[in-house]
Amino acid sequence: MRGLLPHYFLFSLIQAGRLPVNIAMNLDIPLEAKPCHKAVRVPSRKHAPSARSVRITKSLLTQKTNQPPSHGEMARLLKSVASDRSVEAFEALFRFYAPRVRSFMAMKTGDRQVAEELMQETMVSVWNKAAQFDPERGNVSAWIFTIARNIRIDFYRRRRPAFDPHDPAFVGDDTPSAEMEFEQVQDAALLRQAMATLPPDQLDVLKRAFFDDVSHSTIATELGLPLGTVKSRIRLAFEKLRSALEGRR
Amino acid sequence: MNIQHHLSDDLLLDYAAGNLSEGWSLVVATHMALCPSCRKRLSAMEGAAGALLDKVEPVEMPADAWDRMKRRLEGIRIEEVKAPRPAAPAGSGMVFPEPLRSYVGADLANVKWQALGLGAYQVRIPTADPSTQVRLLRIPAGKPVPEHTHVGRELTLVLSGSFHDGDDLFGRGDIEEADDNLLHTPKALPGEDCICLAVTEAPLRFSSWIVRLIQPILKI
Ligand SMILES: [Zn+2]
């Protein structure tokens, strides 16, 4: 809640045209963050952020959104949305993820209006659920994917039962959580690198599964391949990703 | 717990992508409630999906997309959003983890079993998924799994006790994935009844009686 009023107030000023946008963009958003992740855009050396604050800069908000974000940076933005309800931090997330979530939704629905609405639902959910993001369970992109996936499932009125980590019968992991969190941050970068080295036929199967919303048996039919071939492509792809992650240890 | 038999990558991928129907998802999610190792694999798959999402060609957004989003946020009442709760202490003594327990409506102690004959029992678990049939089975200690006719894929998750199938031993948390090609004869270990969650493709009435008819001939 801390910091909500000033930001909201500044935003009203921007809306009312009384404050130049670039001033608001250079607000210091206090965050418990590690210092200076390499992809944090710092506009000027003279104003380098202190170890305990990250500047949500104009350059981050308006930069070419094709540049993959640093996962540490995205996690900090999301944390700021959760703890401060920071609209500026949310805008940075929106500018990067909204067009991608909209593409994702359009792949299945093929309808611009529906894709737009499902994208908006997804991003509202990101805003509302920001405090539930658990860096131990994955990075921000993975988390936003799961929200988009669940909204798409709801839209098609399907059900997807899920486990509940708070259930007394749930069997937890022994790995200490600080270690898990560290692993997850590393995993994000390693996964991205490993994905880039997958053979096209394996990557194609993963894309179809995640984006076209079809089961692996449907993919086999679509590609005119035996089911076993598709299964082995899936297995090979994940073996490769897993060994990339294990190489870290 | 020492789980030896896990989910296959293709099953887990269908679940991670949201392409698995309710009946199969129930057994997959129940296995994962017991299996940290498959949950890690699920996270890795969702991580892969996130990496693909980062690389999706972004569409041209309507110029007013952010303004509309911002107006929408202003209309949202600021709620105290709950941070993740700490995990409950283990050792509850419950046998069915979620999501299964809610589907059954009770834990093992309060299940209303229907007799199948020869000491075996079952409970059908209702879902909204017409493509699968989901049930709990109670196999008497030392006896084979009864009425074992299925077409297509079958998933069996052990919740209590254990069974062996040939040389493979399945205990609590282990999942067996079988299809038409696999001739299998699961048999409960002596000493304790084996409680399993079993999901099969919903039998088409037509093929079902044909299967029953030819079954003795094929010695399935
Ligand atoms: Zn497992």
| pLDDT tens per residue, range A23-63 | 333 333 333 333 333 333 333 333 434 333 444 444 444 44
Report CA(A108)–ligand 1 centroid distance (Å): 30
Report CA(B37)–ligand 1 centroid distance (Å): 5
Report CA(B28)–ligand 1 centroid distance (Å): 9
Indicate if the alpha-carbon torsion angle A45, A46, A52, A54 is positive or negative. Answer: negative
Task: Check residue A157 and give its pLDDT.
Answer: 87
Task: Check residue A43 and give its pLDDT.
Answer: 39
Mean pLDDT to the nearest integer, A79-88? 93
| pLDDT above 90 as % of chain A | 48
The helix-helix angle for A227-246 and B36-55 (nearest 10°) equals: 100
Q: Looking at the domain covering B1-82+99-220, what would its CATH class be? A: mainly beta
Q: Report the run of H or E that residue B163 belongs to, with start and end.
A: strand B163-165
Task: Check residue B79 and give its pLDDT.
Answer: 57
- B29 in Cβ contact with A167 (< 8 Å): no
A188 pLDDT more than 80? no
Mean pLDDT rounded to a whole number for chain A: 75
Judged by CB atoms closer than 8 Å, whether chains meet at B44 and A238 is answered as yes
Report CA(B73)–ligand 1 centroid distance (Å): 40
Residue B137, SS3 per DSSP: strand
Judged by CB atoms closer than 8 Å, whether chains meet at B82 and A132 is answered as yes
Judged by CB atoms closer than 8 Å, whether chains meet at B19 and A116 is answered as no
| pLDDT tens per residue, range B16-34 | 999 999 999 999 999 999 9
pTM: 0.79
Q: Across-strand partners of B196?
A: B137, B158
Mean pLDDT to the nearest integer, B189-211? 76
Is A66 part of any domain? Answer: no
- Domain residues for the domain of A201 are 197-249
Task: Check residue A5 and give its pLDDT.
Answer: 37
Q: Does B65 touch chain A (CB under 8 A)?
A: yes
Judged by CB atoms closer than 8 Å, whether chains meet at A163 and B21 is answered as no
CA distance A205 to A225: 11
Prediction ipTM score: 0.84
Q: Across-strand partners of B137?
A: B122, B196
CA distance A19 to chain B (A): 17
Task: Check residue A237 and give its pLDDT.
Answer: 95
CA distance A68 to B146: 55
Judged by CB atoms closer than 8 Å, whether chains meet at B50 and A131 is answered as no
Report CA(B6)–ligand 1 centroid distance (Å): 4
- How many domains does chain A fold into? 1
Closest residue of A to B159, CA-based? A169
Residues of A in contact with B51 (CB under 8 A): 141, 188, 191-192, 195
Question: Which CATH number does the domain housing residue A203 bear?
Answer: 1.10.10.10
Residue with tokens 């089975």: B137
Task: Check residue A29 and give its pLDDT.
Answer: 33
Mean pLDDT to the nearest integer, B55-62? 86
| pLDDT tens per residue, range A122-148 | 999 999 999 999 877 778 999 999 999
- For chain B, the domains span 1-82+99-220
B166 pLDDT more than 50? yes
DSSP A155: H
Is A189 part of any domain? Answer: no
Is A155 part of any domain? Answer: no
Name which residue leads in pLDDT, B14 or A247: B14
Closest residue of A to B13, CA-based? A209
- B1 in Cβ contact with B132 (< 8 Å): no
Judged by CB atoms closer than 8 Å, whether chains meet at B78 and A206 is answered as no
Which residue of A13, A85, A117, A164 is the best one to mutate when testing the B interface, meaning the one whose CB has the most B CBs within 10 A? A164
Is A60 part of any domain? Answer: no
Judged by CB atoms closer than 8 Å, whether chains meet at A102 and B57 is answered as no
Task: Check residue A186 and give its pLDDT.
Answer: 63
